Amino acid sequence: MQTKDALQMATEKELDLVEISPQSRPPVCRMMDYGRFKYEQSKKAQQARKHASTIEVKEIKFRPKTDEHDMNFKTKNAIKFLENGNKVRLVIAFRGREIIHPEIGKKVLEKVVEQTTEIAQIESMPMMEGRRMIMILAPKAGIVRRS
């Protein structure tokens, strides 16, 4: 159909002529109420955002000399975060000459991983970023459900 005829038909029916596929020969067009179409698209996007779950990354900081009691307390918080479906970033902050012994920081992270193995999996292995050693834990898929 000629473009002029299609525009006339759309005007008679009080609709818009919308080009669907401009690359095809001949171009494909559709008669529709474009305002209503845009409204429905925004409603669908809003519903999708409402039902989507956001995963937060919670951060827990340690030091190479973190005491056993503090370690247990922070590990319990990490377990709570993982049970709620959040990821946990474990950070070891080195000060002064502590940076010479990164293996001590790795041991601290290994203790935390050992205590959270039932509900967590390692997403990224320990790596150094400046004076910080960072490791990310994610909740295991089959065990933890988002609330």
pLDDT value of position 52: 75
The whole domain housing 39 covers: 3-51
Is 110 contained in some domain? yes
Domain stop point among 36, 51, 66: 51
Which residues lie across from 87 on neighbouring strands?
A: 57
Alpha carbons 7 and 17: distance in angstroms, whole number? 6
Are residue 129 and residue 91 in the same domain, yes or no? yes
Q: What is the mean pLDDT, run by run of 10 residues, along the chain of 147 residues?
A: 87 88 86 92 90 84 92 94 91 93 92 92 92 93 64
**pLDDT given at position 145:** 57
Residues 39 and 77 in one domain: no
- Which CATH number do you get for residue 23? 3.10.20.80
Statement to judge: residues 40 and 66 lie in one domain: no
Whose structure tokens read 């203790």?
111
Quick check: helix, strand or coil at residue 60?
Answer: strand
Do both 73 and 126 map to the same domain? Answer: yes
Considering the domain architecture, whether residues 30 and 66 belong to the same structural domain is answered as: no
> What does the pLDDT read at residue 103?
92
Separation CA 45–CA 9 (nearest Å): 31
Domain count, the chain: 2
Residues 77 and 118 in one domain: yes
Q: Which two tokens stand for residue 89?
A: 């970033």
26 and 67, same domain (yes or no): no
**Are 88 and 126 contained in the same domain?**
yes
Distance CA 119, CA 18 (A): 52
Are both 27 and 10 inside the same structural domain? yes
Do the domain assignments include residue 146? Answer: no
Q: Based on the fold, state whether residues 92 and 121 are members of the same structural domain.
A: yes
Alpha carbons 13 and 129: distance in angstroms, whole number = 64
